[in-house]
Amino acid sequence: MPRDPFNREIDYLRISVTDRCNFRCVYCMPLDGLRFLPNNELLSPAEIETVIRAAVAVGFRKFRFTGGEPTLRLDLPEIIERAASVPGVGQLALTTNAMLLDTLAEPLKRAGLARINVHLDSLNRETLERQMRWANFDHMWAGIMAAERVGLTPIKLNAVVTAGYNENDVVDLARLTFERDWHVRFIELMPLGGGECARLSVKRYVSNIETRRRIESAFGPLSELPSDNPADEAQNFKLAGARGVVGFISPVSEPYCGTCNRMRLTADGKFHLCLLNDDEMDVRKALRSGAADVEQQVGAILIRAVQHKPTGHHLLEGRSTRERSMYQIGG
């Protein structure tokens, strides 16, 4: 298993398969002025499989597919199936907004997907459509139900808490854990990309300290759960009598860079070394070189990327990624 210069074990690769999304969340994507990658600049299913084979060969075990919105890739089941066929690959997961999952859940499960994370900022239809612009709650909920029905579990719901939008809706989301064995997780806003969405993320930031206080005011104290994974980005808790888990992902108020185990592959074939830094290494050039030892070359680039992974972000000093927004990195 590869280690970076700070002795962190890096064994988790998040793979963005597209920069396109069918939503326009206020903190992520503006309504206009966007340019998306042409199809020939996206990695193909075969190229993604090569990266996964190379990653497994150097010690990576955990893989998650992201976007943009990954279900917009018509060949997503093929991508999952190819990944699942790689000897030594661990559990495959997907982050999605669930809009298209009602019909895709079963073929994705059949292809080898193990579980999903769903981005759902509110159970209130009006709030949801205002914050996750172009969202449709009924379609999203149908997708979540389909995922549960076919066994893409445990289901994790991720809500980005945004002042003036959904900060009062966290109580209803946490209430879900009484009825279902889901993980409901609250994420602090992170400014990425330097545009209007990054500025909104600073202006509308809500600390998870405040979010936790709202939930405990409604339901009583949260009990922290022991973790068997030191690299887990969420601090996990239970409410008394609840079936599920309440989690807090707090990159601003309680950074977890010291235990980070992640590397990211962008949709256009760059290893993005840290979510909140601009450092990248090109792997697409090697994938398309026609070299007989392409898998070994990709593995060497990945090892080099791990060796250059930054120690952490610099949000408290007012610095973040300027070159890419969240939808271009994959979260």
Q: What local confidence, expressed as pLDDT, does residue 216 receive?
A: 98
Angle between the 101-111 and 137-150 helix axes, to the nearest 10 degrees?
30
Cα radius of gyration rounded to whole Å, the chain:
19
Alpha carbons within 13 A on the beta-carbon side of 238: 13
Q: What is the pLDDT of residue 323?
A: 62
At the top level of CATH, which class does the domain 12-329 belong to?
alpha beta
What is the maximum alpha-carbon separation in the chain?
61
pLDDT score of 313: 62
Q: Are 132 and 124 in contact (CB under 8 A)?
A: no
Cα torsion 162, 167, 172, 175 to 10°: value is 90
pLDDT on residue 12: 96
Residue ranges per structural domain of the chain = 12-329
Model confidence, pTM? 0.94
Residue 222 phi, psi dihedral angles, 5° rounding: -90, 140
Task: Give the per-residue pLDDT at 33.
Answer: 86
Per-residue model confidence (pLDDT) at position 300: 98
Cα separation, 19 vs 42, in Å, equals: 9
Burial zone of 33 (CB within 10 Å; 0-12 exposed, 13-18 middle, 19+ buried): exposed
Mean pLDDT by 10 residues, the chain (331 residues): 90 97 92 92 98 98 97 98 97 97 98 98 97 97 98 97 97 98 95 75 92 98 92 95 97 88 95 84 97 97 94 60 67 64
Residue (of 25, 107, 110) closest to 73 by Cα position: 107
List the end-to-end C-alpha distance of the chain, in Å, as a whole number. Answer: 23
